[in-house]
Amino acid sequence: MIEKINSSKDVKNLNLKEKEELAKEIRKYIIEVVSENGGHLASNLGVVELTLALHSVFDVGKDKIVWDVGHQSYVHKILTGRKEKLKTLRKLDGIAGFPKTNESKADCFNTGHSSTSISAALGMARARDVKNEKYSSIAVIGDGALTGGMALEALNDAGFSKTKITVILNDNEMSISKNVGGMNLLLSRLRTRKMYTKSSISAKKIINKIPIIGKPTVRIIQRVKRSIKQLIIPTMFFEDIGYTYLGPVDGHNIEQLENILNLSKRVEGPVLVHVLTKKGKGYKPAEENPDKFHATSPFNIKDGTPKTKKKEDYSKIFGKKLIELAKNNKKIVAITASMKDGTGLTEFQKKFPERFFDIGIAEQHAITMAAGMAKEGIIPVVPIYSSFYQRAYDQVIHDVAMQNLPVVMCVDRAGCVGTDGETHQGLLDLAFFRLVPNLIIVAPKDFKEFENMLEYAVECNKPIIIRYPRGGESEYKFKLNSKIEEGKSEVLRKGKDITIIAIGKMVSRAMQVADELKKDNIDAEVINARFLKPLDNETIKDSILKTKNIVTIEDGTIINGLATSIKELIVQENVLVKNIKCFAYPDQFIKHGSVDELEKIYKLDVDNIVKTIKSIKLDNKKEENNE
């Protein structure tokens, strides 16, 4: 069946049995691809029937479907001409793991960060009305994403607006881990009303027989539904805030899904369709461990075991060290925005359940709540991925930094993250946090330094950012790990020809580069900056005065990070410099690919850095000869 499918139209032409067969084949295909390439498995397996029904009922392309987060868009990609290309999923120059408007007209809006879909779909619906056009605007949002502030802001606005918009609530009771929060409680009450599903479907059959579709019909539907529901469910939250609520419906029954979606088309104003799905559906290991298979590295299909053994990574080191610190300091608490596993807090929760807070996909709330706790003498530690810290920028400024509150803000997945692509790259945090007064910003060169920094952070009594990369430490083994002191860098290697200043993960690269240069008799001094803020002006200045040649290396954007800090120092201190070369990512959004591939492309690998440095040294020698 899957061979015959190249577009939505092909799906529309299938009968129910064929669609059910297609669903099976799509599942098999997605499992094959993700087992090779890695990616988001469980969420995609959960939306196979829902996606088929959406493509059957709506005119995808003309009608706009916004996929919240977008990690569940593989089925949609298969149905919109990207079936073969799915084999290149998340690979350099291959198709992305999230919707991309430049990949297909069927992807009407880019997503990656949670809880944006209702806002975007409402925007498109309002644009439609302003332009007096006709199309449907649909947001497909998970129950996890519904815990995010943005989603609630948009629900609030859309419900009141009376704008025609469809919100499909894909409820699988899971965020990445088990979903949390009051919204989830509300949904669990709605979920259990199975009786209502049946009666609503039969009510729908009656309504479908009414020939005239228009305002009076819609009003009748809404009145009938409301009166039935008010009897069964005491408070109909969605209805009360302006939606026609349809459902819950079995998200793996294509016929019922098509019926309810067709019904939703006839309702005027905002409508919310509550769809119950199973995360990981159809693949036992994913059904049993939907959290592990939310996003997975390549695995063996037979039993779901990973193809390569996972090594120690920064998140795990973080979790272990935090437990050790928390044992001795009862004031330490951990806060996660729905990323318990990803940030390494699973064990912490088990050890200190009363000091662990999963607050939903709500980074803004996480930070302001942490500020509140810090104000009352608690030491909150908040690990959030770099790109999701973007969400909480104002909270870091307004609630933490401005009040100088000691919140330990751990920026996980900082720097280039690779295959998740541009929405998930953590390349901007050094730049945007550097602007904020009062913040201390540090980045460790290896696990040991990370542990030391964490220890320092919980004791420093100031707002502090610790940024660290995805994955493990580099293979370079450092001999030195001196005590962390505020604003003090670490000179790892003495040299006279050139000063290499690096931060975080790139410090090991600097050492490798220095080793290579030595082979050519270039004697590099290597400084581990440690603190981007406050920068160790004194040590860096002394070194530059000696070598007059500077190289900076960082795992972030070229703007306003380490490179900019050093350039500012040079100007402010009026230091005479012969050469300066800065290695960082350019001022653009960086696509998906492996970290190694991307580092080569952006000339951040050892070979390229060495080549560039050698070229400037040759220039120097020429200059010296001329002199």
Ligand X SMILES: Cc1ncc(C[n+]2csc(CCOP(=O)(O)OP(=O)(O)O)c2C)c(N)n1
Binding site for ligand X (CB under 6 A): 43, 46, 69, 71-72, 113-114, 142-145, 170, 172, 174-176, 279, 337-339, 361, 363, 388, 391
| Separation CA 477–CA 627 (nearest Å) | 41
In the complex with ligand X, the residue whose CB is nearer, 107 or 536, is 107
> Alpha carbon 263 to chain centroid distance?
34
Confirm whether 279 is a catalytic residue: yes
3-state secondary structure of 532: strand
Nearer to ligand X, 144 or 556 (CB): 144
Active-site residue among 77, 225, 278, 279? 279
Concerning whether 391 is annotated as a catalytic residue, the answer is yes
SS3 state at 433: helix
Nearer Cβ to ligand X (143/599): 143
In terms of CB distance, is 295 or 464 closer to ligand X?
Answer: 295
Catalytic residue selected from 64, 391, 505, 617? 391
Distance CA 61, CA 63 (A): 5
Q: Say if residues 72 and 130 touch (Cβ distance below 8 Å).
A: no
- Pick 362 or 517: Cβ nearer ligand X: 362
CB of 110 to ligand X, least distance (A): 13
Paired tokens of 559? 């703007």
CB atoms within 10 A of CB 577: 16
User: Whole-number minimum distance, CB 391 to ligand X, in Å?
Assistant: 5
CA distance 398 to 318: 26
Q: Are 464 and 484 in contact (CB under 8 A)?
A: no
User: What are 358's two structure tokens?
Assistant: 């999963």
Taking a C-beta distance cutoff of 8 angstroms, is the pair 115, 145 a contact? yes
Report, in Å, the least distance between residue 54 CB and ligand X: 15
| Separation between Cα atoms, residue 122 and residue 158, nearest integer Å | 7
Least separation in angstroms between residue 390's CB and ligand X is 8
> In the bound complex, what is the minimum distance in angstroms from residue 361's beta carbon to ligand X?
5
Which of 363, 422, 525, 554 is the catalytic position? 363
Shortest distance, position 454 Cβ to ligand X, whole Å: 22
Greatest extent of the chain over all pairs of C-alpha atoms, in Å: 95
Both structure tokens of 368: 């302001």
325 within 8 A of 316, measured Cβ to Cβ: no
CA-atom Rg of the chain in angstroms: 27
Annotation marks residue 363 as catalytic: yes
Nearest to 261 by CA among 253, 252, 279, 273: 273
Q: How far is CA 408 from CA 384, 454, 589, in A?
A: 11, 8, 28
Q: Give me the least distance between CB of 340 and ligand X, in Å please.
A: 10
- Residue 358 phi/psi, 5-degree rounding, is -95, 115
**Catalytic residue positions, numbered:** 279, 363, 391
